[in-house]
Amino acid sequence: MMIKEASLREDPDLRGELAFLARGCDFVLPSRFKKRLKSFQQAQVSSQPLASYVSAILKYNKNSMFMHFFSQACGCPLYWKAPMFICAGGERTGFVSVHSFIATWRKLLHSCYDDASKFVYLLAKPGCNYLEQEDFIPLLQDIVDTHPGLTFLKDAPEFHSRYITTVIQRIFYTVNRSWTGKINMTELRRSNFLQTLALLEEEDDINQITDYFSYEHFYVIYCKFWELDTDHDLFIDPKDLARYNDHASSSRIIERLFSGAVTRGNSVQREGRMSYAEFVWFLISEEDKKNPTSIEYWFRCMDMDGDGVLSMFELEFFYEEQCERMEGMGIEPLPFQDLLCQMLDLVKPECPGKITLRDLKRCRMAHIFYDTFFNLEKYLDHEQRDPFDLDSDGPEPSDWDKYAAEEYEILVAEETANEQLREG
């Protein structure tokens, strides 16, 4: 049965709504877009023997035999199936014929020589050799609809877009090292995204895939945002953000967050609001200052003149507020000159008196450095420890993974206690 609908990319209403996500806005996936995905799942093609195999694959048949056939025939992970279906014309017609499927695959093999180039070819807009945020939506909606670890979301469609938004932001946070908002093939090759995507086929518990896809991580991020977003309009202002972690962050660093230093476009500066998508970046950066993207994130905030160097003036500007807050708590702060000597000894900049992004990445102490200047609670916590007492070299969870696991346990315990109170 053919589905006569306009192409997603030719529909101005849908194209506009998808563009909102690229600007960091949240939205609920349009019903028409969902219909196309559903028609993809229910697609029927010719009854020829080969066609029956392809039909079963493209209809998301969960039979392991067909999954095995798909990977054997095309050499692609299972969750590439939605982009392949769309690339072969399924989005326009509601089904994919054997002819169009084979023609698309031959064309792909002719022009693409590794997984990264194939993936970009399948997802990117015509004529583009990079991926933007909205390009990931069909892939992720398919994961939401078909992964066994997310079956419970079928009864909560309002959370589909929230989860998808979170995963997209985590992808760009980790993979888009150039901060352009466009993931190129080189960035994709250097990341672990394609390997992680392939793991979804093998792991039914999506929470075991902590990179990008964990629902528990999404739950923690969304709950933290929900607590701050008191009017629940999916935006927070500087006063809302200041309440995070009991006002641990200084007002000066919050001002910088809303200055546009780490956001694209001018909506944050003009309207003084942070979207949920932008909050994802903030939270991961705040709770894991050892992450390379986090180091870049906070450097952009502290580098007020944008010259690529943290001057002594900029360091003193941020430390002044820390001193005022400590004095208000009855704590005698360290004089700036003494603190400066400590920080220079900690970072050991290549150029005396000037701290660069390269210095902070090289020293492995960026988290202590940043907390000293704009997070009082963590700064005082570091003061009780030996800053050179480094973690073991063996593999261990990142600071973000540890934070998300701890917060998820707290949230679950709170919800369990509330349910017991309601029942009692």
pLDDT digits (tens, 9 = 90+) for 288-318: 999 999 999 999 999 999 999 999 999 999 9
Q: What percent of the chain has pLDDT over 70?
A: 79
| Least confidently predicted of 55-69, 238-252, 255-269 | 55-69
Confidence category of residue 72, pLDDT binned at 50, 70, 90: low
272 confidence band (pLDDT: 50, 70, 90): confident
- What one-character-per-residue DSSP string does 118-136 give? HHHHHHSPTT-SEE-GGGG
pLDDT given for residue 266 in this prediction: 54
Q: What is the DSSP string of 293-358?
A: HHHHHHHHHH-TT-SSEE-HHHHHHHHHHHHHHHHHTT-PPPPHHHHHHHHHHHH--SBTTBEEHH
pLDDT: is 45 or 383 the higher one? 383
Contact by Cβ (8 Å): 18, 165: no
Say which residue the tokens 């709950």 belong to: 223
- Average pLDDT for 93-119: 86
Helix axis angle for 292-302 and 276-287, nearest 10°, is 100
pLDDT at 61 over 60: no
* pLDDT averaged over every residue in the chain: 83
pLDDT of residue 65: 42
Name the helix (H) or strand (E) containing 169.
helix 160-175
Residue 269 pLDDT: 58
The stretch 87-104 carries a mean pLDDT of 80
- In this prediction, residue 391 carries a pLDDT of 52
Residue 156, helix vs strand vs coil? coil
Note the pLDDT of residue 74: 75
Give the model's confidence band at 271: pLDDT under 50 very low, under 70 low, under 90 confident, else very high. Answer: confident
- pLDDT tens string 353-400: 899 999 999 999 999 999 999 999 999 888 887 655 555 555 789 999
Q: What angle do CA 205, 221, 248 make, to 5 degrees?
A: 140
Mean pLDDT for 131-139 is 96
Residue 97 has a pLDDT of: 77
pLDDT of residue 81: 86
Query: In this predicted structure, what is the pLDDT of residue 171?
Result: 98
The pLDDT value given to residue 43: 46
Find the mean pLDDT for residues 264-290.
Answer: 85
> Residues 73-87: what's their mean pLDDT?
85
124 φ/ψ sector (left φ>0, alpha ψ -120 to 50, else beta):
beta
pLDDT of residue 2: 35
| DSSP assignment string, 235-248 | EE-HHHHHTTTTTT
Percent of the chain exceeding pLDDT 90 equals 61
- Quick check: 20 pLDDT over 70? no
Domains of the chain: 58-213 (1.10.238.220), 217-386+397-401 (1.10.238.10)
Please, which residues have CB within 8 angstroms of residue 76's CB and are 6 or more apart in sequence? 70, 84, 118
- 180 pLDDT more than 80: yes
**pLDDT value of position 393:** 57
Indicate if the pLDDT at residue 327 is higher than 90: yes
Query: At 340, is the pLDDT very low, low, confident or very high (cuts 50, 70, 90)?
Result: very high
Mean pLDDT confidence for 330-342: 95
DSSP string, 241-283: HHTTTTTTB-HHHHHHHTTTTT-SSSHHHHH--EEHHHHHHHH
